[in-house]
Structure 1
Amino acid sequence: MAERRWEVLKVRFCERAGCEVALEAQMAYPSEVLPDQPPRLISKRCSRGLECNFWDHMTCVWAGTNPLYDPFEQNP
């Protein structure tokens, strides 16, 4: 059976959250039966996306409230 894990891809300071946030990716690794297959990207999330979603103002694309702002696309 395939194994799924969340891994950190990038870490940035988010001006809107006021702290360091991590872009995480859920990766599916093949089982031992088919070891030659590369891992697959299943989904991505921000480490603070759920918390920012509850704020009264628009935050970013990862919170689902502002599709025009992505803190991971900005220059560090």
Structure 2
Amino acid sequence: MAEKRWHSIKQQHCDHVGCAVNLEVQVVLPSDYLPEQPPRIIGHRCSKGLQCSLFTKPSCVWAGTNPGYDPFMDN
């Protein structure tokens, strides 16, 4: 059976929250009987996404509130 896990891919400073955040992706690992399949990324999140979504203005794609803005794209 396939397995879902969250993996941290990067740690950066976020200006919106004012501290370091972990950028994470949700990966589906293939089952044991299909080992040649690569893992699939099915989601992404920020470790401080809940705090960002409580602010009055939308933040970014990692928090899930503004899909058109990724502040970590150029870094």
Q: Same-fold call, TM > 0.5?
A: yes
CA RMSD of aligned residues (A): 1.7
Structure 2 residue identity aligned to 1:60: C
CA change 1:39–1:3 in 2 (3 A) is same
Q: Percent identity among equivalent residues?
A: 49
Q: Highest relative contact order (Cα 8 Å, sep 6+), 1 or 2?
A: 1
Normalising by structure 1, we get a TM-score of 0.82
Distance between the aligned counterparts of 2:67 and 2:57, measured in 1?
9
Normalising by structure 2, we get a TM-score of 0.83
The aligned counterpart of 2:68 is 67
Distance between the aligned counterparts of 1:30 and 1:61, measured in 2?
26
Structure 1 residue identity aligned to 2:27: M
Structure 1: gaps (5+ residues): none
CA change 1:66–1:4 in 2 (3 A) is closer
